[in-house]
Amino acid sequence: MPLHDRLRADPPGFGSPNIPECGVRPYSIVDKGPAYWILLALITRVITLLHPTLLKRERAMKRLKPFEYLEPNTLEEAIGILVGEGPRALPLAGGTDLLVRMKQGVVSPSLLVNLKRIAGLDRIERSAAGGTTIGALTSIAAVERYEPLRQSHPVLIQAAGLLGSPSIRSLATLGGNVGRASPAADMVPALIALKAGIVAQGPSGKREIPIDAFFKGPGSTVLGPAEIITAILLPDPAPASGAAYLKLGRREGMDCALVGVAAALSCGGDERVVDARLAIASCGPVPLRAESAEAVLLAGPLDESRLREAARATAGNSCPITDMRACSDYRKEMVEVLAYRALRAAWQTARRAL
Ligand SMILES: Cc1cc2nc3c(=O)[nH]c(=O)nc-3n(C[C@H](O)[C@H](O)[C@H](O)COP(=O)(O)OP(=O)(O)OC[C@H]3O[C@@H](n4cnc5c(N)ncnc54)[C@H](O)[C@@H]3O)c2cc1C
C-alpha cells in the first residue's frame, strides 16, 4: 500500500510511535525459532573464543581500566582541573553513557571529573527576564517530574519519558545528553524545536551557544577544551503554539531512536503558521533541522496537503545511514510518517490555544 494511503488510515492525534503497518519492517526476533537463536549464540561464542582480537576485547569489556577520579565542589575548581589535565580528563555527569563507552574501550580517559558535587547545577528555575533555565546536572527523571514544564514545554516531558528506562532516567542528565552529541539523543530534537540555548563555562568565561550551532559531528561539539555545559535555556513558548516529539525504536523502551522527530508550530489567524521548527534524530551525523519543511509550513495556510508536503520535505532533509538496526530507505520513510504525526499533533495543540 502506498505510504499516503497508510497515513490516511492512521488514527488522528499522537498515534503510537510504533508503526507496525508501515513499509519494510525492521528485523524481528520472533521470525526465528529458539533453535536458530541457540545455534547462533553457540557459533558467536566459538568465534569469540577463537578470535584473539575479539577475545581481548571481550576481556577488556569486563573491567574498566584504572582511572583517577576527582569530585570538585565548584565550577571554577572543575574547570581548573580540566585545564591542567588536558585531554586525558573528561567531565562525568550521570555516567550512563561515558562509563559504558569506557567499558567498551571506545574512550579511555585517565581522569574523570565528577560534576555532581557542584552546587546549583541541578536546578530548574524561571528566569527573571522570561524563559526557563535547566541546570545541566538535572536528571532526565527530574525534568520529567517538573510540573511547570508540563504546562510550558510538554514536548520536553514527552522526550524525557521516551529516554531509556526509569533507572537510566534517574541517573542520566540533560547536560550529558547534549554533551555526548549523539545523533540519536532523544532530548536534543525537542531542544532544537524549542530554540534552546546552551550555556557553557570555561577558562575564558561564560557564553551562550544556540543549539543549532552546537553540534559539529557524531560525539563532537563546539565546546572548547575545559568548557563545561552549565545550563540549558528555554525561551517561553509563543502564544498559540504546540509541539510534539515522536520516536521509533526497535522496541518501546531501553532502545535508542531508529528515527525521532520533534515538531513545534505557532499559529496566527486564518490557518497560517507563523513559526515552525522541525528536528530529526538518528538520520545524519548530527541531530538535523528540517529547514525546507519549515519553509513549506510558512509558505501558506496550513491544511492536510501542506502537512503532508512538509512531512515529505522533512524526509528529504534527512540523510540516514543503513546499519544493523535499519536500512536508510526504511528510516527515511519513517521520518515522513513521524513528521506527519508530530506536525499534526503540534498543529492540533496550537489551534486549541488560539
Ligand atoms: C541502557 C541505556 C539506554 C539508553 N537509552 C537512551 C535513549 O533511549 N535515548 C538517549 O538519548 N540516550 C540513551 N542512552 C544514553 C545516555 O543515557 C544519555 O545520553 C544520557 O543523557 C547521558 O547523560 P549522562 O549524564 O549519563 O552523561 P555521561 O555519561 O556522564 O556523559 C556523557 C558525555 O557527555 C559529557 N558531559 C556530561 N556532562 C557534561 C557537561 N555538563 N558539560 C560538558 N560535557 C559533559 C561527558 O564527558 C561524556 O563525554 C542510554 C544509555 C544506556 C546505558
Closest ligand 1 atom to Cα of 140: 21
In this structure, the residue with its CA closest to atom 11 of ligand 1 is 185
Q: What is the pLDDT of residues 224-273, one digit of tens each?
A: 999 999 999 999 999 999 999 999 988 777 788 999 999 999 999 888 99
Distance 290 CA to ligand 1 centre (A): 24
Higher-pLDDT residue of 34, 77: 77
Other Cβ atoms less than 10 A from the Cβ of 310: the count is: 28
What was the pLDDT predicted at 30? 55
Pick from 218, 234, 250: which residue ends a domain? 234
Q: Does residue 221 lie within any of the structural domains?
A: yes
- Spatial CB neighbours of 62, under 8 Å, sequence gap ≥ 6: none
Q: Is the ipTM of this complex over 0.90?
A: yes
Considering the domain boundaries, does residue 92 fall inside one? no
Could you read off the pLDDT of 143-188 as tens digits, one per residue?
999 999 999 999 999 999 999 999 999 999 999 999 999 999 999 9
Q: The domain that contains 343 carries what CATH number?
A: 3.30.390.50
Length, in residues, of the chain: 354
List the CATH number of the domain containing 137.
3.30.465.10
Q: For residue 336, tell me if it sits in a domain.
A: yes
Same domain, 135 and 162: yes
Percent of all residues in the chain with a pLDDT value above 70, rounded to a whole number: 89
Q: Give residue 3 CA to ligand 1 midpoint distance, Å.
A: 35
Of all protein residues, the one whose alpha carbon is nearest to atom 9 of ligand 1 is 163
Range of the domain at 165: 124-234
- Cα separation, 14 vs 152, in Å, equals 19
Q: Which atom of ligand 1 is nearest to the CA of 115?
A: 41
Least confident piece of the model among 23-32, 224-233, 341-350: 23-32
| Domain assignment of residue 99, yes or no | no
